[in-house]
A and B are shown apart, each in its own frame.
Chain A
Amino acid sequence: GDSVTQMEGPVTLSEEAFLTINCTYTATGYPSLFWYVQYPGEGLQLLLKATKADDKGSNKGFEATYRKETTSFHLEKGSVQVSDSAVYFCALSEGRSGGGADGLTFGKGTHLIIQP
């Protein structure tokens, strides 16, 4: 079945540091890939997405590129801020047709802590 593997935290960085959170996946088809963020005390929010190989999703200074050859979707940001402290989830959707479940498969989440 489908699976998502991401680095587990907590990951602690200083403000303005470069961030990479690794994410790799296994899927039978050609999934869409997502990064979701969960800020303390808040719900799950879509951060960015990519639907096909070589697509780059970007939002709020975060970027991730859909790499089919390495089955990866690593999240990066050039200069993190204290306000980026949150839990980040990598996820995929196979988008299967013909009935059956079509929800998201999530990684375990990475707790990011940014220190001033």
Chain B
Amino acid sequence: SAVISQKPSRDICQRGTSLTIQCQVDSQVTMMFWYRQQPGQSLTLIATANQGSEATYESGFVIDKFPISRPNLTFSTLTVSNMSPEDSSIYLCSVRQGNGYTFGSGTRLTVV
């Protein structure tokens, strides 16, 4: 299965600033996904990123707040913009291969 490198692994950021999270996959994949896991909660899909097209966002998530880039078939970034303490979460990228999904190790974001 694919190996995903995600960075940074954690960060502490000031409110009002932005953080860009990177996700690198060791093989070419069509679809990449971004999730949020709020403290003590389950994972929620933010958006699906396809190479060469705009990301598709789930209800409750908008491009202005979570812009996504997908420049090629092995890389994607998620930016958390104009952060507030409510954005403190673990953010994970994921890829689909065959019938399964592989996840990155996550980025633990704390907004102060």
Binding site for B on A (CB under 8 A): 32, 34, 36, 42-46, 49, 51, 89, 93, 99-109
Interface string of B37-68 (1 = CB under 8 A from A): 00001111101100000001010000000000
Q: State how many angstroms separate the Cβ of B17 from the closest Cβ of chain A.
A: 26
* Count, A-B residue pairs, CB within 8 A: 59
- Tell me whether A109 and B42 are in contact in the complex, defined as CB-CB below 8 angstroms, given that A46-B100, A93-B101 are known contacts: yes
B31 within 8 A of A: yes
CA distance A46 to B45 in the complex (A): 17
**The one of B43, B44, B48 that contacts A102, using a Cβ cutoff of 8 Å:** B48
By a CB distance below 8 angstroms, the chain B residues around A34 are 100-101
Q: Which 9 pairs between the two chains have the least Cβ-Cβ distance? A: A43-B105, A103-B45, A103-B33, A44-B103, A106-B42, A101-B48, A108-B42, A106-B43, A109-B42
Binding site for A on B (CB under 8 A): 31, 33, 35, 41-45, 47-48, 56, 58, 92, 94, 96, 99-106
Give the interface centre of A44, A46, A89, A93 by most chain B CB atoms within 10 Å.
A44
CA distance A93 to B43 in the complex (A): 13
**The one of B44, B56, B99 that contacts A32, using a Cβ cutoff of 8 Å:** B99
For this complex, 10 residue pairs linking A to B, each with C-beta atoms less than 8 Å apart, are: A32-B99, A34-B101, A43-B106, A51-B99, A100-B48, A102-B31, A103-B48, A104-B35, A104-B101, A106-B42
